[in-house]
Amino acid sequence: MNGGGLLTAWRIWDQIYYHCTRLKYVDKENRNLFRVVVKRYSGEPLVTSDGVSLKKGDWYAKLHLHNCLFAQMIREQSLDGISLALFTVNSIRGSLPALARYVANHPRSEEIQVLLGTTFLHRGARRLGFDVSDMVCSPYYLRYKSWLFKLILANCHPDGWRRLQEAGHQLVPKRVYISKEEFFKRYLLPQ
């Protein structure tokens, strides 16, 4: 299957996945890279760098990068490796203010304590204000997430399959998270 056919198949799978989960688009019309589900936390206790604690039962915003849209945007740009890194950071940074408005306007906004996601794209997360930590999970789940993210990377990145062969062992998913208050300070812009 060529790249275009694979992207089409992925779009179909993405629509099925979206309808089977409680994910919500942050700003679909403006091609925002985030989708979110607000839910109760069930993992190990987590403390942000500004001291906000997230424990079982607390509300949080689970972040999902819209990888299918991101892959489509990359294909439209015809980017090389260095340009892709800049494009990625700028695209994510540009999506954060709308994400902040989404969380601020969510019916559970007052209860949400932390925004949390899992990603390979954690190298620039600290510059955006996020904390980064290893995933706390079973080795099987970590292998599954790593495999899934590598499959996504192989289809998003222009040199994806080659990059996996060269540096796949270095690609480990991490948790990225930030307190709602810190996130709002940085990205909730006056309208």
Q: What is the tally of structural domains in the chain? A: 1
Q: How many Cβ atoms from other residues are within 10 Å of residue 19's Cβ?
A: 8
Return all residues near 71 (Cβ < 8 A) that are at least 6 apart: 7, 10, 152, 155, 156
Contact 99, 34 (CB under 8 A): yes
| Residue 109 near residue 103, CB atoms below 8 Å | yes
Per-residue model confidence (pLDDT) at position 13 = 64
Give the CATH number for residue 148: 3.40.630
- Give the range of the structural domain holding residue 102, as residue numbers without chain letter: 3-187
Q: What percent of the chain shows pLDDT beyond 70?
A: 66
pLDDT, residue 2, reads 44
In the prediction, which pLDDT does 39 show?
Answer: 95
pTM: 0.79
Question: Per-residue pLDDT for 3 more than 60?
Answer: no
